[in-house]
A and B are shown apart, each in its own frame.
Chain A
Amino acid sequence: MSADFHGETLSFAHVGSTLEVTLHRSVPGAACNEIGEQTLIELERVAEYLREGAGGARAMLLASSVPRGFCAGADLRALYQGLVARGETGQASVGEVRAFLDRIHRVFDTFDATPITTIAAVHGVVFGGGFELALTCDVLVADKTARFCFPELRLGLVPGFGGIPRLARDVGNAVVRDLLFTGRSLNAQRAYALGIVSQLVAPGEAPFVARKVAEQAARFDSDTAAAAKAFAKPVPHEWLEREKDTFCRLFTSPVVTAALQKFVTSTDARPYLP
């Protein structure tokens, strides 16, 4: 049985044989689909729907209707405010962070391994957790405004939503290290040249092109497509577990709280350009 959903941060609907998931978190203080508790709850709903068979959908398209981009990653303001409001020790907070990571990894692993073909249509900001979300998908279609970045080291952290193990499936470790250790961003053309993005399109055209990818993928036998996906795109479970461990260990450092405070209170026009 298919069922459409309209939430606070995302919606999904069946369009032909495709399940179209649209991120649309646009509230004051959330510039571009930042992933906080509510977004996670609604992503969990999508993941549950996928595990139940996705209402018979043969492909999933993930996109954003927010003009600024696909997703700017974790909701750092909420993370910082949570730390401050509770006034807990780093060790107490890390338990909550671990629980959050376990939940988001379960969602992202489901997106990654779902037997239907998944396509991310991205534009504008594709940063941090947003980049990690896109990397769960089988095919990335980017318009020329897209920009990709892992800024986590600026916060004293490593990417925590599976970004490094998943990026390493697609590109060489030299590229992974460059992006991770410098925190620099890549434009869409460069991401296309590196093989992170497989189709590069004009601004605003990514959803249209991604729908065509989904329609084409749905023409093949579903069991064959699922077998091909399991063969070509294994989920790096062991590496993902080590990523969570590393993230949680780093999270107890005072460097993180100081960096989050700086990020949240900064009025500099260039917080993304350290």
Chain B
Amino acid sequence: MTTTTQTAELETRLVALAAHRFGKAASSLQPSDDVFEKLGIDSMQAMELLTEIETTFGVEIPDYELQGVTTFSGIAALVRRRLG
């Protein structure tokens, strides 16, 4: 599987996870969307989402790596790096 394919798959899974958690239609979310704006979540809900992402993908993402990361694509890239 190519890196591009892996990333696209991760993005799809991330979008589905976030949509499910916050009661959105997955079809209403795009990988390039701003996670916070699109989901309308606050800081604590963001922490809950981070925990679910880490648990689901079996990775650990230090908070500081999320600095400046706003999109599902950006988070997927962080997850992929941790998956190896």
Q: Check A147–B64 contact: CB distance below 8 A.
A: no
Any chain B CB within 8 A of the CB of A162?
Answer: no
Give the dominant DSSP class at B's interface: helix
Q: Check B63–A187 contact: CB distance below 8 A.
A: no
Any chain B CB within 8 A of the CB of A74?
Answer: no
Q: Check A144–B55 contact: CB distance below 8 A.
A: yes
Q: Which of B44, B55, B62, B64 has the most chain A CB within a 10 Å cutoff? A: B44
Please, which residue of chain B has its CB at the minimum distance from the CB of A72?
B44
> Whole-angstrom distance between the alpha carbons of A99 and B73 in the complex?
48
Q: Check B48–A269 contact: CB distance below 8 A.
A: no
Please, which residue of chain A has its CB at the minimum distance from the CB of B65?
A184
> Whole-angstrom distance between the alpha carbons of A195 and B55 in the complex?
18
Q: Check A273–B54 contact: CB distance below 8 A.
A: no
Any chain A CB within 8 A of the CB of B25?
Answer: no
Cβ-defined partner of B51 (8 Å) among A32, A147, A270, A272: A147
> Whole-angstrom distance between the alpha carbons of A145 and B54 in the complex?
11
Tell me the chain B residues, 31-80 only, with Cβ under 8 Å from chain A. Answer: 36, 41-44, 46-48, 50-51, 54-55, 60, 62-64, 66-67
Task: Give the chain A neighbours of B44 by CB distance below 8 A.
Answer: 31-32, 68-69, 124-125, 272
Q: Check A185–B41 contact: CB distance below 8 A.
A: no
Q: Check A182–B47 contact: CB distance below 8 A.
A: no
Q: Check A270–B55 contact: CB distance below 8 A.
A: no
Q: Check A183–B36 contact: CB distance below 8 A.
A: no
Interface residues on A, range: 20 to 34
Closest-CB distance, A272 to chain B (whole angstroms): 5
Map CB proximity to B onto A131-152 as digits: 1 under 8 Å, 0 otherwise.
0000000000000110101000
Task: Give the chain A neighbours of B55 by CB distance below 8 A.
Answer: 144, 187, 189
Q: Check A271–B43 contact: CB distance below 8 A.
A: yes
Q: Check B46–A270 contact: CB distance below 8 A.
A: yes
Q: Check A273–B63 contact: CB distance below 8 A.
A: yes
Task: Give the chain A neighbours of B64 by CB distance below 8 A.
Answer: 182-184, 273-274
Cβ-defined partner of A273 (8 Å) among B43, B48, B51, B60: B43
Q: Check B67–A274 contact: CB distance below 8 A.
A: yes
Task: Give the chain B neighbours of A147 by CB distance below 8 A.
Answer: 47, 50-51
> Whole-angstrom distance between the alpha carbons of A124 and B51 in the complex?
9
Asked if A185 meets B47 with Cβ closer than 8 Å, knowing A190-B60, A274-B67, the reply is: yes
Closest-CB distance, A180 to chain B (whole angstroms): 13
Q: Check A145–B46 contact: CB distance below 8 A.
A: no
Task: Give the chain B neighbours of A125 by CB distance below 8 A.
Answer: 44, 47
Asked if A273 meets B67 with Cβ closer than 8 Å, knowing A144-B55, A187-B55, the reply is: yes
Binding site for B on A (CB under 8 A): 31-32, 68-69, 124-125, 144-145, 147, 149, 182-190, 268-274
Q: A185-B47, A272-B44 are in contact. List 6 more A-B contacts (CB 8 A).
A: A185-B63, A187-B60, A269-B36, A269-B42, A273-B43, A274-B64
Q: What are 13 A-B contacts defined by CB distance under 8 Å?
A: A32-B44, A69-B44, A184-B63, A185-B63, A187-B54, A188-B51, A190-B60, A269-B46, A270-B36, A270-B43, A271-B43, A272-B46, A272-B47
